[in-house]
Amino acid sequence: MVLSGFLAAGALALGVTSPAGAEEELKTETGSVLAEVTSKSTSRATEVLNGVANVSTDSTGDAAIDATVAGTDLIIPTDPSDPITVKSHKGDVISVELPFADKAADAVVVADGVVAFDNRNASTTAAIAKGEGSLQVVTIIDSASAPTRYVYEFNLPEGAEVIAAGTTLLFIDDGKLFGGLAPAWAKDSAGRDVPTRYEVTGATITQVVEHVGGEVTYPVVADPWIGLALFQNISVAQKEEKGQPVVNLDLSGWGWAVYIGITQGGGAVGFAAGQAILNTAGWDEAWSKGGRVRRALDKPSQRQQFSCHALGALAAGTWNLEKYRPNRIGGDWWSHAYIHHCNWNTSYRE
């Protein structure tokens, strides 16, 4: 991370750097590096400062961030030896112990939704709460003296397992998807890709960043993106259509990556797998909202509309499940989907 390098230079020039001064420098330099990688981003995954949650962030208590974002509870501690915890509205809980937690300094607030831990080994870990309820953990590597291996100890529900799917890792419990890690990436300050990969042993996930040797311009930024919810919003629209409720669903960044197949390795096979995941795990997530959403989502036609969106049309926008639409005979939503676009008006083929 560039931060350690600057701090060392400051100590040589000034003799002593006060704790307050060191924290301020860590805050400034972390923010600068994250802003730079965001400005050079060519994908949603590397837009680390886009969509950051607007949450209260304070380094003086036990938790720097303790907030509910898009139905997901996020807790980022001030003490690096305590795990980060993510809990979905379904009750699924993932906690993760950060790399070098036994050596790192306490959290420094970079901005609302962003905290940094100086690992004291030429690397910094930044934890970023995203507005869709996911968590991005960014490693900033200052120089070739920094480690190449960053170990994340995950605590998953009993019986859950980590499954590799292409370049992504899926968390599976009782055959159902409840979260995962988007593909690993690493960029140097010139915007070049740096070789990186995940290694998995049980629930221990190591991101290996091969930044030593070769043409690398420091700092290097690397990241695992922890996703739980496939949808960042599942809600009943305020305005009814033809006297019947409408349920709106918006994919999260994690859900979009699953949907278009990036998390399954890309290509036609990855896309088909992503559609299948959305059609099953996505519906389970929507149905698990319970209460008002479930009452507004109890017509077979709406399940058919959901399948149409998940399997029949690559749609980046809001999925509208309208209760007034008739049930398709025999579940035949796919006929002429290119015409009705999941918005049919009859119970038979159009």
pTM of the model: 0.76
Q: Which one-letter DSSP state was computed for residue 106?
A: P
What pLDDT shows up at residue 93? 85
What pLDDT shows up at residue 20? 53
What pLDDT shows up at residue 199? 94
Tell me the CB-side half-sphere exposure of residue 62, using CA atoms within 13 A. Answer: 4
Number of Cβ within a 10 Å radius of residue 37:
23
Helix axis angle, 19-39 to 2-14, nearest 10°: 140
CA–CA separation, 187 and 40 (whole Å): 10
Strands 319-322 and 246-251: antiparallel
CA–CA separation, 74 and 231 (whole Å): 16
Whether residue 202 is predicted with pLDDT greater than 60 in this model: the reply is yes
CA 188 vs CA 36, 144, 193, 210, 333: distances in Å: 10, 12, 7, 11, 47
Q: Which of 37-41, 139-143, 147-151, 191-195 has the lowest mean pLDDT?
A: 37-41
CA–CA separation, 125 and 201 (whole Å): 22
Helix (H, G, I), strand (E, B) or coil at 346: coil
Q: Which one-letter DSSP state was computed for residue 98?
A: P
Whether residue 39 is predicted with pLDDT greater than 80 in this model: the reply is no
Average pLDDT over all residues of the chain: 82
- 289-328 burial, b for 16+ CB within 10 Å, e for fewer? beeebeebbebebbbbbbbbbbebeeeeeebbbbbebeeb
**pLDDT category of residue 348 using cuts at 50, 70 and 90:** confident
In sign, the C-alpha dihedral spanning 88, 94, 98, 99 is negative
> Which of the pair, 234 or 336, is modelled with greater confidence?
234
Helix (H) or strand (E) holding 330: none
Angle CA 3–4–5, to nearest 5: 90
Q: Domain spans of the chain?
A: 2-227, 231-340
Whether residue 11 is predicted with pLDDT greater than 60 in this model: the reply is no
What pLDDT shows up at residue 141? 94
Cβ-contact 118, 4 below 8 angstroms: yes
**Percent of the chain with pLDDT strictly greater than 90:** 40
Q: Give the chain's length.
A: 350
CA–CA separation, 33 and 220 (whole Å): 9
